Amino acid sequence: MAMKLRLARAGSKKRPFYRIVAADSRMPRDGRYLEKVGIYNPLLPKDSEDRVRMDMERVQYWLDQGALPTDRVSRFLEASGVIAKKERANLKKAVPGKKAQERAEEKAAKSAAAAEAPADE
């Protein structure tokens, strides 16, 4: 069975609250899980101790059984020192697309040309 340590959403609309669970990877996000191993409350301040709470013994048990943490859960585990930090690819999501870059270049060239024209007179 392919096991995952992942988040299962709870809480009401616009008030998220997550359980950190050990679940079969084929089950839906909020569906059946085998064990609740912690909680994550993103509404609390980042320096709050209650923002992320995990039962480290059970987390270690599931990791030893071969459960793979999702990206978000692995970040929690890295912060707590359970697993080693891994290098992540910077996907450069903030970089504009090709057409937007071309438009910016054209606009810069046009403004540079406009700045030079009055100087020639």
What pLDDT shows up at residue 81? 86
| Boundaries of domain holding 53 | 3-80
Residue 36 located in a structural domain: yes
pTM: 0.69
Let me know if residue 62 belongs to a domain.
yes
For the chain, the domain total comes to 1
Task: Return the pLDDT at 119.
Answer: 52
> Is 14 contained in some domain?
yes
In a domain, 65, yes or no: yes
Which of 108, 1, 3 has its CA nearest to residue 63? 3
> Would residue 33 count as lying in a domain?
yes
At residue 84, the pLDDT reads 85
The answer to the question of residue 96 being in a domain is no
CATH code for the domain of 71: 3.30.1320.10
- Quick check: is 73 in a domain? yes
Q: 10-residue block means of pLDDT along the chain (121 residues)?
A: 90 94 90 93 92 94 93 91 82 83 92 75 51
Give domain status of residue 21, yes or no.
yes
Query: What pLDDT does residue 39 have?
Result: 95
